[in-house]
Amino acid sequence: MNRIRKGDRVVVIAGKDKGKQGEIVRVLGDKVVVSNVNVVKRHTKPNPQAGQPGGVIERESPIHVSNVMLFNPATGKGERVAFKVLEDGRKLRVFRSSGEAVDA
């Protein structure tokens, strides 16, 4: 079970976009793509077969999962995540500071 999943709200804690918040769009192993974070310009050639025009396209680039922290709406900050094993054997993500469940 990963500490960060698709759809989670995160805060960037390192790099050029430090302090920005966004939602996880994709998880790629140990990297994540966060909406409106680490935006790069990509120069693409036109591809008529795919109906793709050429030009300069802005898109999000992956950043390492260690550079993001799960956002806790109760405190308004990024916080660390721990796992709690329930009686029936399921794992639950909880915030380390408060112990409250992430997936409420």
How confident is the model over 7-59, as pLDDT tens digits? 999 999 999 999 999 999 999 999 999 999 999 999 999 999 999 999 999 99
- Nearest-5° Cα angle at 30, 11 to 103: 50
**Nearest to 65, CA basis, from 7, 9, 12, 1:** 12
User: From the CB of residue 67, how many other CB atoms can be counted at a distance below 10 Å?
Assistant: 18
Rounded mean pLDDT, 67-78: 94
The pTM of the full predicted model, rounded to 2 decimals, is 0.84
Yes or no: say if 26 and 37 are a contact pair by the CB < 8 Å rule.
no
Per-residue pLDDT at 17: 95
State pLDDT tens for residues 27-37. 999 999 999 99
Find tokens 């898109």 and name the residue.
Answer: 59
> Which tokens in the block code for residue 26?
């994709």
